[in-house]
Amino acid sequence: MKSDVLVIGGGVVGLSVARELQTLGKSTVLIDRIPVGTGCSFANAGWVTPCFAMPLPQPGMFFKSMKWLLDSSSPLHIQPSLSPTLIRWLWRFMCAMNRPQMLRSIEVLTEISKYSLDFYSQLASRVGPSIQFEKRGLLMVSATSSGVQAAIDEMNLMAERGIPGRKLSRDEVLAFEPTLRPVVQGGVYFPEEAQLEPYSASLALAKEFESAGGKILPPAEAYDFTLQNGAITEVHTTQGPLQADLVVLATGSWSPELARRLNLNIPILGGKGYSMTLEGVSRKPTHSMMLVDRKIAVTPFPDRLRIAGTLELVNQDFSVSVSRLRAIYQGAHEYLDLGLKTEVARKDSSTEAQSLPASISARDLWRGLRPCTPDGVPLIGFSSKVKNLFYCTGHQMLGLQSAPGSARLASDLIFGRTPLTHSKPFSPARFE
């Protein structure tokens, strides 16, 4: 089979790129080793929040990560290893922990996130309530004065980029969101942020892609390439060979493995995150929330409550960490009174009684690998070494949020148009 474009990767990023190129007139085929939308796009927090258009490496992150390194239940955990790949990644990660680079990254990540927010709003108007798109806003809360200040600092930083927010005192935040426990000391509210159901959104993108004439093959895994004169002439898949004028690599945490088949090394590590749906909830929050101290996301969907969190740099390890699941579950209950019936009393460090669950009472336990580059910015652009290879991968925790904006930037570069935002920070040449 021959097409103009072959997109490898059926997550929300690959689907967005395929849809964009097909609607602009490029005959496009999409393949993945699993059904579309069932990988890292499947059950994340569902946030579309430009206020969180932040790269993972930030000033001061080094000392926090060293403190968290020995704690298997910490918000960020790095599995100790003497792997040369991990060592090189961590060195680049540390080099990116400076304010000038962080600000450059925020500028471009914010632009593609804003575009995505508008795109999803329009998608919801086309497909209806199935994607559960809602502008509930986002609430950041903390139980410490330092955490509240960090939220205020982020609010001020994003206000400079046109993203409104307002500070809430302890009394104001408890009145604003009644499910919060008194342990909370204050927070920040961003009124323009949105949420949606990620898997439903992926299916909606797939439907629009196919309606425009695009083809999604039955689960087909790309495992090798034929290279001639510096270009890919054939992609070998489990459904047979495929040919395309342009090959788009949108395979998330699997990208380094495929890139090695082309003698390319790209520094992407899988960052494992977890989510679950809480059972027995009689009091559901009104707003999506970030529990700053625990780095836990809380998303109230119309029919359920999802909590998600942690980032465990493990590369391709898909095992389940019970300690991390428990940390997310208990962290949510430390902050939220959800009206659960199965709770036991426990004293926290301030000797104030808290209600915490005796055991995990949840369903839809899920984990996925977020593709993390060491500088926190995706690779979007043409390969500097393989003529007809285009990258759109490495979106860390912002895949859903930045997918449509990334697809727009990708199409701008492919068609030679003025790009949506500065493209240099995304250039794959910085790593190839």
Q: Output the domain CATH number for residue 422.
A: 3.50.50.60
The DSSP bridge pattern shows strands 186-190 and 231-237 to be: unpaired
- The confidence score (pLDDT) of residue 80 equals 64
Regarding whether 117 and 28 lie in a shared domain, the answer is yes
- The confidence score (pLDDT) of residue 79 equals 66
The reply to whether 151 falls in a domain is no
Tokens 């689960």 appear where? 219
Q: 126's torsion region: left (phi>0), alpha (psi -120 to 50) or beta? A: alpha
Q: Among candidates 51, 379, 70, 357, which has minimal Cα distance to 188?
A: 51
Please say which residue of 369, 399, 417 terminates a domain.
369
Q: Among candidates 425, 414, 325, 420, which has minimal Cα distance to 113?
A: 420
Regarding whether 380 and 245 lie in a shared domain, the answer is yes
The reply to whether 179 falls in a domain is no
Q: What gap in Å lies between CA 83 and CA 71, rounded to an integer?
A: 20
The reply to whether 7 falls in a domain is yes
Regarding whether 324 and 203 lie in a shared domain, the answer is no
The reply to whether 46 falls in a domain is yes
The reply to whether 13 falls in a domain is yes
> 195 forms bridges with which residues in the sheet?
47, 134
Regarding whether 250 and 202 lie in a shared domain, the answer is yes
pTM exceeds 0.85 for this model: yes
Regarding whether 338 and 213 lie in a shared domain, the answer is no
Q: What gap in Å lies between CA 133 and CA 204, rounded to an integer?
A: 12
Please say which residue of 319, 351, 369 terminates a domain.
369
Domain count, the chain: 2
**Geometric angle at alpha carbon 333, from 291 and 308, rounded to 5°:** 50
Q: What gap in Å lies between CA 15 and CA 36, rounded to an integer?
A: 8
Give the relative orientation of helices 12-23 and 399-415 as an angle to the nearest 10 degrees: 30
| Structural domain span for residue 9 | 1-50+98-129+195-268+373-432
The reply to whether 45 falls in a domain is yes
Q: Which helix (H) or strand (E) holds 139?
A: strand 138-142
Please say which residue of 369, 384, 418 terminates a domain.
369
**Residues in the chain where the model's pLDDT stays below 50:** 342-358
Regarding whether 199 and 253 lie in a shared domain, the answer is yes
Concatenated DSSP letters of 224-278: EEEEETTEEEEEEETTEEEEEEEEEE--GGGHHHHHHTTT-----EEEEEEEEEE
- The confidence score (pLDDT) of residue 323 equals 82
Regarding whether 387 and 322 lie in a shared domain, the answer is no
Regarding whether 432 and 331 lie in a shared domain, the answer is no
The reply to whether 185 falls in a domain is no
Regarding whether 7 and 121 lie in a shared domain, the answer is yes
The reply to whether 303 falls in a domain is no
Phi, psi of 218 (to 5 degrees): -55, 155
Regarding whether 102 and 87 lie in a shared domain, the answer is no
Regarding whether 317 and 202 lie in a shared domain, the answer is no
- The confidence score (pLDDT) of residue 71 equals 62
Q: What gap in Å lies between CA 81 and CA 273, rounded to an integer?
A: 19
- The confidence score (pLDDT) of residue 288 equals 97
Q: Among candidates 1, 8, 28, which has minimal Cα distance to 411?
A: 28
Regarding whether 393 and 257 lie in a shared domain, the answer is yes
Q: What gap in Å lies between CA 284 and CA 332, rounded to an integer?
A: 12
